[in-house]
Amino acid sequence: MATEYPDRYTGPTVAEIGEHATIRAILDAAPSHRNGDDAAVLPMPNPNTRTVVTTDMLVEGRHFRLDWSRAAEIGHKAVVQNFADIEAMGARPVAVVLALSAPGHTPVDFITELARGIGERVADYSADLAGGDLTGGEHLVVSVSAIGHLGGSMPALTLDGARPGQAVVAAGRIGYSAAGLALLRRYGRDDVPAEFTELVRAHLIPATAPGRGVIARAAGASSMTDNSDGLITDLETLARRSGVGIDLAGVAIAPDELLTAAGRHLGIDPWTWVLTGGEDHTLMGTTSKDAPSGFRVIGAVHRNRPGTGPAVTVDSEPPAHSTGWDSFPRRVPSP
C-alpha cells in the first residue's frame, strides 16, 4: 500500500529536489550547529557523567497514520517516547538523531514539518536535533535515537531497583492516550466531539514534564520506567525484573471524569485504557521516600510469592485487563 500524503502538503517532492536539497531544508527547519558533519559532537558534560542511549522506530500505519497525525506531531511523539526512556533512567535528555526512510513522492514540506516538530520538542528539554540520515524507501519509517546525560555517582533508575515496602509513584496521565486512540478510530481526526479534544491530543502529542526523571533520581527513587506498552505490562516488567510484587490502589488510578465520559460515549470500559493502554509515556517508579515533586502514589511494592498470583494486582485482585502492546501479537489458535 503506497504512502498517501494529505493535500495539505503541497510543495515539491523529495524526488524532485533530491537528497542534498532536502537535507538542507531539514537543517533550515531544525537548525543546530552540531548537525552537518560525519557525526555530531555533543556538549561537554559535567565531570562524572555517564551517557545514556535509547532508540525507537515509528512505522507508518503501525505507529501513526497520516490521516490522523500531522507531520510535526509525529516528530513530537518520536521525541517524547525516546526522551521518556532517557528520563526513566533518571537521566537528562541531551540530543536526538533522526534516521528517516521516505518514498520519493514524499512532499519536502512534510519532512521539514516533521523535523520542525522534533526541533520544537527537543527544545522543550534544552536538547538538540544533532544529526540524521535520509534515505529512500517504499514506506515512511521514522527512527529516532536519543542520548542523555546521567550525572553523579548515584545509580541509574533501572527496572530491577524496586524493593518491598516502597511506594509506587507516577507523574502524569494514565489512559488518556488509549482513550484518544479509541476516539480517533471512531471519528477520525476532524469529527471527535470537542469535549474529548484533550484525549485525542494526549494520543497525538503526549504531554510530558521535562526533568521529572532527574528529579526522581535526586529525590531517592530506586526504580523507574514509563507507561509505553500499558500500565500493567510495564509494571509487570518492572516487578519481574526486581523480583517483587506490586499492588496498585484502584482509587489512585481509577478513570477520571473525562475518561469515564469518553468510555460512556463510546461504550468502552475506561479501565481498559488505564490498565492496558500505554503510550502515555508517564514516568512510573518506586521509592522508599516521599513521592518526588510532581509524582503521586499509585500503589505499593510487596514481597513476591512466586506462583501465588500475578506480579501486579489492583486492590489485591488480578487486574480486570492486562494485555498490553506487542509488535508481533502471537496468533493463539482458538480452542
State which residue, 45 or 164, has the beta carbon closest to a second copy: 45
> Which residues within the stretch 212-241 sit at the binding site for a second copy (CB under 8 A)?
224-226
| Burial zone of 297 (CB within 10 Å; 0-12 exposed, 13-18 middle, 19+ buried) | middle
Q: Is 22 in the site for a second copy (CB under 8 A)?
A: yes
Nearest-approach distance from CB 189 to a second copy, in angstroms = 23
Nearest-approach distance from CB 193 to a second copy, in angstroms = 32
Does 276 appear as a known binding residue? no
Does 290 appear as a known binding residue? no
Number of residues that bind a second copy (CB under 8 A): 75
CB atoms under 10 Å from CB of 262, counted, come to: 26
Q: Is 246 in the site for a second copy (CB under 8 A)?
A: no
Pairing of strands 296-303, 141-151: unpaired
Applying CB under 8 A, among 78, 129, 146, 167 the residue interacting with a second copy is: 146
Query: How far apart (Å, rounded) are the C-alpha atoms in residues 206 and 56?
Result: 15
Does 226 appear as a known binding residue? yes
Residue 208's Cα: distance from chain center in Å?
Answer: 9
Q: At what angle do helices 108-124 and 14-29 cross, to 10 degrees?
A: 20
Nearest to 127 by CA among 158, 82, 88: 82
Q: Is 334 in the site for a second copy (CB under 8 A)?
A: no
State which residue, 49 or 260, has the beta carbon closest to a second copy: 49
State which residue, 86 or 122, has the beta carbon closest to a second copy: 86
Does 132 appear as a known binding residue? yes
Does 272 appear as a known binding residue? no
Does 279 appear as a known binding residue? yes
Residue 53's Cα: distance from chain center in Å?
Answer: 15
- Give Dmax (Cα) for the chain: 63
Quick note: the x/- pattern for a second copy over 165-204, rule CB under 8 A, is ----------------------------------------
Q: Is 145 in the site for a second copy (CB under 8 A)?
A: yes
The secondary structure of residue 129, as a DSSP letter, is: E
Q: Is 329 in the site for a second copy (CB under 8 A)?
A: yes
Q: Is 287 in the site for a second copy (CB under 8 A)?
A: no
Query: How far apart (Å, rounded) are the C-alpha atoms in residues 125 and 225?
Result: 19
Query: How far apart (Å, rounded) are the C-alpha atoms in residues 226 and 171?
Result: 10
Query: How far apart (Å, rounded) are the C-alpha atoms in residues 301 and 166?
Result: 5
Query: How far apart (Å, rounded) are the C-alpha atoms in residues 231 and 277?
Result: 7
Nearest-approach distance from CB 197 to a second copy, in angstroms = 29
Applying CB under 8 A, among 6, 17, 124, 249 the residue interacting with a second copy is: 17
Helix (H) or strand (E) holding 275: helix 270-276
Does 55 appear as a known binding residue? yes
State which residue, 99 or 249, has the beta carbon closest to a second copy: 99
Nearest-approach distance from CB 256 to a second copy, in angstroms = 26
Does 229 appear as a known binding residue? yes
Give the residue numbers of the binding site for ATP: 132-133, 228
